[in-house]
Structure 1
Amino acid sequence: MLSSTRTPSEKRRAFRAGLASGTTQRFPGAFTPLSTRLVQEKGFEGVYLSGAVMANELGLPDVGLTTLTEVALRATQVASATDLPVLVDADTGFGEPMNVARTVQALEDAGVAGLHVEDQVNPKRCGHLDGKEVVDEATAVRRVRAAVGARRDPDLVVMARTDVRGVSGLAAATDRARALVDAGADAVFPEAMASLEEFAAMRAAVDVPLLANMTEFGRSDLFTVQQLQDVGVDMVIFPVSMLRVAMGAVERALDELAATGTLAGQVPTMQTRARLYELVDYAGYAAFDEGVVSFDLRDNRTS
């Protein structure tokens, strides 16, 4: 009830233990705090908070328009709604190395278990689009060093994302990944890998946990969790999937309402009132309220 039953430190330690477990950690993307309840209930290991989703929910494209304040607020809301570790997309860190340091501390205060900072030019763009640019290696290394140096909880996972594969090829990406690990990154997120063989090459290049991004309509095929585990991937995210599913359902419902004047045909596919109340724990709040606010006003004045 109210919020997570686990502290941020507990969730950070759980995240690190999961990454070291030898079992690929599954982090579906949450698009609301409420959706994290379902992710937890269905037995997944963690929750991912996508920068694209946060931008899209504001009606914006994923081109670096969201601010640290907006991301930290949503990260706080999502992290407080679940006992699972939350990994948040920190884009390019919202500026220069000093901004990166401030970003890390703001997201650490938000209660997340980890964050990733990328090596795109600021403002960035979706990692699966053409025309993206990356900064030079020295700049990327400074971002990671700033992030690692700024954290106060050593269990906070600082992950380095590299987009070099889509700009300069796989060899350049493995070189960049090694440099980011040398700079102190706890894990690596190589964006837009084209095949399982490329994930395997990245696995051979670094000795820290490796993340795979299984986003629909992107550069990678939608490999299964088992396929990714077989090539040494430690974690997989499904960043925008749940938002796409939800928005597809909303659009179909609106089409039906416009065409027929009723949503009666959609009712069988809707979440029921009882199920919604179960997710938000109405019963727990009612029991709490009864235990705290129990008094009798019959003998008091009426005015």
Structure 2
Amino acid sequence: MVEEHTVEASLPPETSNTQPPLTGSAKLRRLLAEPDKIVVCPGVYDGFTARLALRAGFECLYMTGAGTTMSRLGMADLGLATLNDMRDNAGMIASLDRSIPVIADADTGYGGPLQVGRTVSQYISAGIAALHLEDQVLNKRCGHLSNKQLVPEEIYLARIRAAVNARRQSPGDIVIIARTDALASLGFQTATARLKKAIAIGADVAFLEGLTSQTDAVNACKELAPTPVLLNMAHGGVTPTFSVDEAKQMGFRIVIFPSLALNQVYKSVSTAFDLLRREGVVSYDREGGGDPSLRDLFGVCGLEDAMRFDRDAGGDMYSDGV
């Protein structure tokens, strides 16, 4: 006799009375709904820097486009990264911990409305919580370099509209961040006017790139309220250095530090390489516990979780340790 099983009996017990975890976009929206909250996002560009940021306990990560271009292509941020480069990197980072939202650079959307729509759909499928779209020409450059070229306002708004429409047609969700680089060439009023029109179309967050004064920073938050405004703290860029507390006091709701990991790697790894080349030795910073072991490095990247998963499934690959 064939034994009959009900649908309920075939389900794992823990799925019957539990709520599904929040998606990254839902978690980010919840964070932005807290009126006195500022979301602090360290810039990460690969799995290892993302793992370090997760271990530090951040509530949200930012995948830097410049860092992605440099780490994946070995090239400067001059519009060379493609949709596939950016989506694959951001999706990998988002997959490391689905409970932590990832905000990712999406440059110009990589084409016209059809291409922008595909970008948004692909980012949603990859589990990315938020993306930002800008108003530079397709052959763009880093927002803190000079002589940026902009598209006409109607083309920029078509990008935002395409993003909103693609999100509406998708079974998932994503937070759309409208970015403008118009401040340097067109001035504050024109730049904020572009953002207001993008918000009216359906953008969730405003991003005024290249702020050069605290006055403009404060005024931007006031002009664009109640829409959350993002502050880009690109070290070595044109924006003055503000602390998280200062950013919060000015009215910002999100602050990203895109070059944080890049700068630290540049300094420390350059020093280590120079020492090895000149003197033939390797020296580690012994402050805080001595040299890292391979197990320390693997541990950051989920060694214990992987061993536990194997054991819980009945595997014995790591029963004697590693």
Is the TM-score greater than 0.5? yes
Change (3 A) 1:130 1:294: closer
Partners of 2:297 and 2:141 lie apart in 1 by 35
* AA partner of residue 227 (structure 2): V
The yes-or-no answer on 1:134 pairing with 2:153 is no
Q: 2:108 aligns with which of 86, 92, 95?
A: 92
Instruction: Please say if residues 196 and 228 of structure 1, whose CA atoms lie closer than 8 Å, have aligned partners that are also in contact.
Output: no
Q: 1:242 to 1:17 in 2, by over 3 A?
A: same
Identity of aligned residues (%): 34
Superposed, which structure 2 residues align to 1:11-50 within 5 Å?
11-21=24-34, 22-50=36-64
Displacement of 1:29 after TM fit? 0.7
Q: Structure 1 stretches of 5 or more lacking a match?
A: 1-5, 296-303
CA contact (8 A) 1:28 1:47 kept: yes
CA contact (8 A) 1:9 1:155 kept: no
Distance 1:108 1:156 in 2: 6
Shift of 1:274: 3.6
Q: Which residue of 2 aligns with 1:51?
A: 65
1:230 counterpart SS class:
helix
Is 1:205 the counterpart of 2:228 in the alignment? no
Post-superposition shift, 1:10? Answer: 2.1
* Displacement after TM superposition at 1:9 (Å): 5.1
Counterpart residue number, 2:16: none
Q: SS of the counterpart of 2:81?
A: coil
C-alpha distance in structure 1 between counterparts of 2:316 and 2:295, whole Å: 26
Aligned to 2:240: 221
Structure 2 CA distance, aligned partners of 1:262 and 1:99?
50
Shift in Å at residue 234 of structure 1?
0.2
- Worse-superposed segment, 44-53 or 150-159: 150-159
Q: Is the 8 A contact 2:69 2:77 kept in 1?
A: yes
Q: What is the CA-CA distance between 1:78 and the residue it aligns to?
A: 0.5
8 Å Cα contact 2:46-2:68 kept in structure 1: no
CA distance in 1, matches of 2:142, 2:63: 15
Counterpart code for 2:270? E
Q: Which segment drifts farther, 113-122 or 174-183?
A: 174-183
The residue type paired with residue 137 of structure 1 is: E
Identify the residue that residue 62 of structure 1 maps to in structure 2: 77
Aligned match of 1:103: 119
Are the aligned partners of 2:124 and 2:172 in contact in 1 as well (CA < 8 Å)?
no
Name the CA shift for 1:194/1:111 in 2 (closer, same or farther; >3 Å): same
Structure 2 counterpart of 1:14, one-letter code: K
Residue 28 of structure 1 contacts residue 39 of structure 1 at CA under 8 Å; is this kept in 2?
Answer: yes
Extract structure 1 runs of 4+ deviating beyond 4 A: 6-9
Conservation of the 8 A alpha-carbon contact between 1:162 and 1:189: yes
SS at match of 2:141: coil
CA distance in 1, matches of 2:199, 2:121: 20
Aligned residue-pair number? 289
Give 5+ residue unaligned stretches, structure 2: 1-18, 318-322
TM-score by length of 2: 0.85
CA distance in 2, matches of 1:9, 1:273: 34
Q: Which secondary structure state, in structure 2, belongs to the residue aligned with residue 158 of structure 1? A: strand
Matched residues in 2 for 1:177 and 1:154: separation?
24
In structure 1, the residue matched to 2:89 is: 74
CA-atom RMSD, angstroms? Answer: 1.9
1:290-301 → structure 2 map (5 Å cutoff)? 290-291=311-312, 292-294=314-316
Deviation at 1:253, TM superposition (A): 0.4
1:249 corresponds to 2:268: yes
Supply the AA of the counterpart residue of 1:38.
Answer: L
Q: Which amino acid aligns with 1:134?
A: L
- 8 Å contact kept, 2:55–2:300: no
- Asked whether the equivalents of residues 48 and 239 of structure 1 are also in contact (C-alpha less than 8 Å), the reply is yes
